[in-house]
Amino acid sequence: NPNADEIHGFKCYPSVRDVPDEIDVAIIAVPSKIVPEVMEDCAKKGVKGVVIVSSGFSEEGEKGAEIERKVIDIARRSGILIFGPNTTGIMNTETGFITSFAPLRRIKKGNISIVAQTGLFLGVMMEMIASHNPGIGFSKLVGMGNKIDVQDHEVLNYLISDKDTKVIGMYVEGFRNGRAFFEVAKKSEKPIVIFKSGRSEYGKKAAMSHTASLGGRDEIFSAVCKQANLIRVFSFDELLNVSKALAMQPLPSGKRVAVIHYTGSGCVQAADAVYFSGLKLAELSEKTKKRIREVTPEWHQVNNPLDIWPMVEYYGMKPYNVSTEAMLEDENVDSIVVAVWCSAIWKGYMPEFDKLKEFKKPIYFVAEGPRDEVHTLRMEYENNGFPVFPNVITAIEVLGKVTKYSARKNRSF
């Protein structure tokens, strides 16, 4: 900063060139028209990479595009790598490295990495996730912005071999090199969950003025998703829900689902959702049914989905434990979804998490009730490694996407 010696106790220099130490990464947050000048300084100083936070490039028309061309030219000449412009950049929870200017809450370390073509992710979205879903853990968060230099496939390539990343989530408005992305995505052994906007004519126009992205044809992107076994989602909520399911639970080895719900209406909704998600309702074995009948009033039927409330009214919490474990042991069952109601009076079912993990089958939970009680329960479950969804339809739709991915990956069921 040429106008200050010190800001918030940090020493300032008039130019990057005046900094005495070596610089690995510079964060450039000056008006776009000054960016070329700062880039020249960085080149002279031998900076290896920059994150350009500023907007006002090709997304804002011809003037901005001209500045962009200058910036690319300097980068090519000097070998500087650029993230952005128009992004808040990178966060790495393992090393504590962060380029975002947004005030962020503490984010849990974990095995989900996100690549997003929007600064939003490192600001508002992370703030929302940290507050609504503090049990979800992240490893790398990468804001791509206008992508004038570093591209999706390069970041993807890094994350595929990153030992701390188990699941890759992506938000994309357009690809600069779709072929390269396809080739890298295809070889990934890790699940890639992708939310692409800019799908319609309206959306493409909006993407052009947001990140100067060329949207491409949506049918082609659909085909790419199928061939590269990408998990396509249609909102940030879904991106997070599918990612956390994959991060926390094993993959299902078949399509047969068992469902426990605390209401009959939830059972009907669940049954529809199983059907429309391309899953199957498991036929419970006689042994399983027999075990469940021991905690069932004689007038009530044992079905899948299982309406558990009449059982809870007679036998308290026990039917939840018995039914969950009996279903997990049943070889006709590949995965289960368990819906719990909690309230100020009824605190909800609290399973023995370690025991549930022994079955090595995916278990998804649903929690419904007043907002504070649901939040408390969700934190407890998710901190113990079990994903919680807001309703049974959502949970089953997520399971459907994960199951389809698993089937393709293993070329089976």
Task: Report which of 230, 154, 218, 223 is spatially closest to residue 186, judged by C-alpha positions.
Answer: 230
When binding is defined by CB under 8 A, the residue of 173, 325, 330, 382 that contacts a second copy is 173
> Any contact of residue 235 with a second copy (CB under 8 A)?
yes
When binding is defined by CB under 8 A, the residue of 92, 263, 376, 383 that contacts a second copy is 263
Residues in 71-100 that interact with a second copy by CB under 8 A = none
> Any contact of residue 66 with a second copy (CB under 8 A)?
no
> Any contact of residue 203 with a second copy (CB under 8 A)?
yes
Q: How far is the CB of 374 from a second copy (least distance, A)?
A: 8
When binding is defined by CB under 8 A, the residue of 188, 269, 323, 324 that contacts a second copy is 269
Residue in this structure with the two tokens 């507050």, named with its chain if needed: 131
Q: How far is the CB of 203 from a second copy (least distance, A)?
A: 4
- How far, in Å, are 89, 114, 177, 226 from residue 147 at the CA level? 11, 15, 10, 25
Q: How far is the CB of 298 from a second copy (least distance, A)?
A: 10
3-state SS class at 398: helix
Alpha helices in 191-300 (DSSP H): 201-211, 218-227, 236-248, 264-276, 286-293
Number of residues located near a second copy, criterion CB under 8 A: 75
| Side-chain-facing half-sphere of 248: CA atoms under 13 Å | 26
> Any contact of residue 278 with a second copy (CB under 8 A)?
no
3-state SS class at 16: helix
Part of the chain binding a second copy (CB under 8 A), chosen from 73-81, 111-119, 241-249, 287-295: 111-119
When binding is defined by CB under 8 A, the residue of 5, 9, 103, 189 that contacts a second copy is 103
> Any contact of residue 236 with a second copy (CB under 8 A)?
yes
When binding is defined by CB under 8 A, the residue of 210, 255, 256, 291 that contacts a second copy is 210
Closer residue to a second copy, CB minimum distance, 198 or 252: 198
Residues 79 and 93: their CA atoms lie apart, in Å, by: 27
In sequence order, the 6+-apart residues with CB closer than 8 A to the CB of 43 are 74, 77, 78, 80
Q: How far is the CB of 369 from a second copy (least distance, A)?
A: 6
Task: Report which of 92, 119, 122, 116 is spatially closest to residue 172, judged by C-alpha positions.
Answer: 116
Phi then psi for residue 381, to 5 deg, are -65, -50
- How far, in Å, are 56, 59, 178, 213, 255 from residue 148 at the CA level? 13, 11, 14, 10, 42
> Any contact of residue 270 with a second copy (CB under 8 A)?
yes
Residues in the chain: 413
When binding is defined by CB under 8 A, the residue of 58, 165, 197, 323 that contacts a second copy is 197
> Any contact of residue 58 with a second copy (CB under 8 A)?
no
Looking at residue 344, the DSSP 8-state letter turns out to be S
> Any contact of residue 234 with a second copy (CB under 8 A)?
yes
Closer residue to a second copy, CB minimum distance, 183 or 237: 237
Part of the chain binding a second copy (CB under 8 A), chosen from 299-307, 314-322, 350-358, 402-410: 299-307
How many other CB atoms sit within 10 Å of the CB of residue 357? 15
Closer residue to a second copy, CB minimum distance, 166 or 244: 244
Contact status, residue 7 vs residue 79, Cβ threshold 8 Å: no
Looking at residue 215, the DSSP 8-state letter turns out to be -
> Any contact of residue 120 with a second copy (CB under 8 A)?
yes
When binding is defined by CB under 8 A, the residue of 78, 177, 285, 303 that contacts a second copy is 303
The contact pattern for a second copy, residues 351-370, with x = CB under 8 A and - = no contact, is: -----------------xxx
> Any contact of residue 299 with a second copy (CB under 8 A)?
yes
Strands 90-92 and 138-143: antiparallel
When binding is defined by CB under 8 A, the residue of 6, 10, 189, 202 that contacts a second copy is 202
> Any contact of residue 275 with a second copy (CB under 8 A)?
yes
Q: How far is the CB of 196 from a second copy (least distance, A)?
A: 9
- Write out the DSSP string of 173-189: S--S-HHHHHHHHHT-S
> Any contact of residue 171 with a second copy (CB under 8 A)?
yes
